[in-house]
Amino acid sequence: MDKSLIDLGNESSGSAVQRGVGSAGAALHSTIDKVADPARNTVDRLSTAAHETVDKLASNAARVADRFSDQTRRLTDAPARAVDYSKSWVQERPLEAVGVALAIGFILGRLTAR
């Protein structure tokens, strides 16, 4: 047999093997992509849902912290506001203030005298 014919035979069988390997590789890649795409979509949806949940929790926590801060500020300011209101009321109505003070003194004296 002619050596060039043997080489041609090897080349054609080598090319067929290479084509078969290439075809099998492409089929495997396609299968992997078919399996991975739904998983990727699921992971993306779960990731988006998780991010949205964290954002909602952070937003709610920030609102609660703001409300707590406002309530705390109001509670700490309340005594000072009460004193300021009392001062202005006494300055605007001094006779009534003296009358109220006498009434409160009388009531406290009766309660503690026993």
Handedness of CA 83, 89, 95, 100 (dihedral sign): negative
User: If you average pLDDT over residues 99-113, what whole number do you get?
Assistant: 92
Global pTM reads 0.46
Q: What pLDDT, in 10s, does the model give residues 44-59?
A: 899 999 999 999 999 9
Amino acid at 8: L
Longest dimension (CA), the chain: 138
